[in-house]
Amino acid sequence: MADLQFRLTDELWQDLVTLEGAPISAIVVWDQSMLDEALDEPVTPATRPFVDIDLYLANQTKLELYGASIAIDEESDPIIGLDDIGETLARHSRDGTIIDEIASGPEEMLVLVLSNDRNESLLVAVSAWMEDVWETLPEDAI
């Protein structure tokens, strides 16, 4: 298992760019986030601005994404609310989601561009991440 990463360095980008084009087999959205304790006010499911997500890729790679915010495009505000985030990811994943691009956001933040067969994209900006492997898909996956 790799270490928890917070900044997308050139070396990490070179490793992650090999995942571009990888199909996503399953997605798990957690109802709490690693960043919850850092907020000034308690987060409710309806006001949740970010989530922790596990992406299970078809090549047996698992990306654990912490403090992820989801947006439709660069001009859109992030989607707010646990249900809305989960529904957006579920709707998007029904049409063959892949990691289309590995990009860098502000302060070397990891940004994943997820695309599906309907040419729809989602931007997933990540505060921290870890790469692992998986053998069995979880039952509660999208």
Arithmetic mean of pLDDT over the chain: 91
pLDDT of residue 25: 93
Q: Is 5 part of any domain?
A: no
Give the whole-angstrom CA distance, residue 50 versus residue 66. Answer: 8
**Domain membership of residue 124 as a residue range:** 10-133
Position 139 confidence tier, pLDDT thresholds 50, 70, 90: confident
Q: Is 86 part of any domain?
A: yes
Q: Is 99 part of any domain?
A: yes
Q: Is 142 part of any domain?
A: no
Q: Is 25 part of any domain?
A: yes
Q: Are 68 and 53 in contact (CB under 8 A)?
A: yes
pLDDT digits (tens, 9 = 90+) for 26-73: 999 998 898 888 777 888 899 998 999 999 999 999 999 999 999 999
Give the whole-angstrom CA distance, residue 127 versus residue 142. Answer: 22
Q: Are 70 and 123 in contact (CB under 8 A)?
A: yes
Number of domains in the chain: 1
Q: Is 60 part of any domain?
A: yes
